[in-house]
Amino acid sequence: MITNLFYFLSFVAVLSALMVVFSRNPVYSVLYLIITFFAIAGHYVLMQAEFLAVVHVIVYAGAIMVLFLYVIMLLNLNRESEPHKSNILKFAAAICSGLLLVVLVGSLRGTELLKHSEAGEVSSTMGGVKNLGKVLFTDFLFPFEIASVLLLAAMVGVVMLAKAEKKTNL
Amino acid sequence: MISFLIYKAILVGVVFGITLFIAAYSTYAERKVAAFLQDRIGPDRAGPFGILQPLADGLKFIMKEEIIPNVSNKILFVLGPSIAMLTALMAGVVIPWGSTLVINGETYSLQIVDLNIGILYVFAVVSIGVYGIMIGGWASNNKFSLLGAIRASAQMISYEIAMGLSIIALIMMTGTLSLREITELQTGAVGSSWNFWNVVYQPVGFLIFLVCAFAECNRTPFDLPECETELVGGYHTEYSSMKLGFYLFAEYINMFISSAVISTLYFGGYNFPFMNDLGMDQNIITIIGTIGLFIKIGFFIFFFMWIRWTIPRFRYDQLMNLGWKILIPLAIINIFITGLFGIL
């Protein structure tokens, strides 16, 4: 049952991820990306990480993708106004994404598959809010705080950029 | 195992039916309340006091000609109202509609599923609910629809933040995300072994949550996405027949669900005063509690309508100012004060 669900979700995730790249209409791309995020949230649920799944849906599908869709609808991109990139840019993009693929494969090659005995130890409360909170504020306190400072810096930066633009307009 | 599944299936069916019933009669109630507030009679032709009016309205929606504009994106045009309806109905799953019933020594919980992240689930459903409006508005290929859709998305994002922050203060107090546990912590209200309802501890949080609930449901004074003075009909300008009906219906379902969430979080859910002093059977207490919950929900639905027919619509910049410059700082201060009380 769970294996079948896994294959189904993986199929949906991969297919819609491909459709993100191949669809001509940017609005369709965003909608396929939303489906991809839901499939990934389904994977989190399969791994007993309900909190992560729900936060994933709230943040990615519920907030970030809404803003993506918002911007794309405002720009109203269609085939006539589609920006045409030069061949050099396309070439550079292909090389960059190829390099990213190499990095990802390289980093994932070193990891070992979780052994079945270890996988059995994952309890149902593993991904729960209480456990996650405890782990975040004890073992991973430093990275957690660093991430929060990073987010704060990004927020302040955005506010500063918006303010500066306003001054030049006046 | 099978009986468990059958019980849950029956419960899902009952909740689904009650949700649709209440949403249908909310439309009737809305017109009656509007009539009452404006010193009119309101619908009174279909049946005694017009109580068959929702049936008449539904029949009319189904019988009307269905128009899909030629220039629209057909698939997404149909998908829009479907998503709006689907997400509206999904949130009822985690709400505890009552305590437990004991029949033949077996306990039956009047809640479809008690997720330990219940309140976050409600948030997730609410946050994806805006796609129905956005997709429908964009697929209509109409400037007014598109403006309505864009307004809806910006409003949703802005008020979700304040809503989330107001909930954080509540969660800091209760220490749980499960809606059933939050309800259990408010048991009694008055009488022996009592606890106050959360609204006593979190009045500011409740106020912020209420305002945000209005905005998330696109109700007046926050119904800018369908502002008919500027945008014809907003996101549903091009819709006709039952697809328009779905959009309107989804709004009433959202109203019902948010009333239920407000009652559960801040007004004790299925708890009622003196519930531990009556000395009655557990089952009877449960049934009275469920009726009590529906009375609370009914009051909040009435409150939604009361506001709608009393307060005019905001301007869009006023709406954004309220969301970003008043509600969010207020919610953050509320979190600080709650934390301070938690330490003391």
Mean pLDDT value of segment A140-158:
91
Phi and psi at residue B121, in whole multiples of 5°? -60, -45
Q: What is the CATH number of the domain that holds A31?
A: 1.20.120.1200
Tens digit of pLDDT for each residue in B202-224? 888 889 999 988 888 888 788 87
The CB density around residue B108, as the number of other CB atoms within 10 Å, is 17
Which residues contact residue B38 at a Cβ distance below 8 angstroms, ignoring those fewer than 6 apart?
B309
Supply the pTM of this predicted model: 0.84
What is the predicted pLDDT for the residue at B90? 87
Tens digit of pLDDT for each residue in B282-328? 778 888 888 888 898 999 999 988 888 888 888 888 888 888 888 89
Q: Which of B164, B213, B97 is nearest to A54 (CA)?
A: B164
Q: Which amino acid is residue B231, in one-letter code?
A: L
Side-chain half-sphere CA neighbours of A84 within 13 A? 2
Indicate the SS3 state at residue B336: helix
Residues in chain B with CB shorter than 8 Å from the CB of A66 are 127, 130-131, 134, 153, 156-157
What is the predicted pLDDT for the residue at B192? 58
Range of the domain at A62: 1-76
Q: Chain B residue with minimal CA distance to A129? A: B117
Residue % of chain B over a pLDDT of 90: 2
Q: Which of B227, B219, B247, B293 is nearest to B85 (CA)?
A: B247
CB B139, CB B148: distance < 8 Å: no
Residues in chain A with CB shorter than 8 Å from the CB of B126 are 62
In a domain, B238, yes or no: yes
The token pair that represents B87 in the structure block = 């997400």
Confidence label for B153 from pLDDT (cuts 50, 70 and 90): confident
Q: Which of B270, B322, B273, B328 is nearest to B294 (CA)?
A: B270
Q: Which residue is listed with tokens 């006046």?
A: A170
Mean of pLDDT over chain A? 81
The token pair that represents A162 in the structure block = 């918006």
Apex B186 CA angle, B180 and B187, nearest 5: 90
In a domain, A38, yes or no: yes
Taking the CA of residue B158 and the nearest CA in chain A, the distance in Å comes to: 10
ipTM of the complex: 0.81
pLDDT at A78 over 80: no
Max avg pLDDT among A92-96, B51-55, B67-71: A92-96
In a domain, B9, yes or no: no
Residues in chain B with CB shorter than 8 Å from the CB of A128 are 116
What is the predicted pLDDT for the residue at B283? 79
What is the predicted pLDDT for the residue at B188? 63
CB–CB of A128 and B138 under 8 A? no
- CA torsion sign, B258 to B261 to B266 to B271? positive
In a domain, A7, yes or no: yes
Mutual orientation of helices A65-75 and B143-174 as an angle, nearest 10°? 160
Number of domains comprising chain B: 1
Tens digit of pLDDT for each residue in B39-53? 888 888 877 888 888
In a domain, A86, yes or no: no
CB–CB of B128 and A74 under 8 A? no
What is the predicted pLDDT for the residue at B276? 67
Tens digit of pLDDT for each residue in B224-255? 777 777 777 778 888 888 888 888 888 889 88
CB–CB of B121 and A27 under 8 A? no
In a domain, A44, yes or no: yes
d(CA B60, CA B53): 10
Phi and psi at residue B147, in whole multiples of 5°? -60, -40
Cα dihedral B67, B70, B71, B77 in deg (nearest 10): 40
d(CA B219, CA B210): 12
If you count residue pairs, one on A and one on B, with CB atoms under 8 Å apart, how many are there? Answer: 61
The DSSP secondary-structure symbol of A62 reads I
In a domain, B171, yes or no: yes
CB–CB of A58 and B156 under 8 A? no
Tens digit of pLDDT for each residue in B180-205? 888 887 776 555 566 677 777 888 88
d(CA B11, CA B109): 10
In a domain, A144, yes or no: no
Mean pLDDT value of segment A81-100:
83
- Candidate from A55, A66, A128 with C-beta closest to B130: A66
Asked if the bond preceding B69 is cis, omega within 30° of 0, the reply is no
Q: Chain B residue with minimal CA distance to A41? A: B124
Range of the domain at B323: 70-343
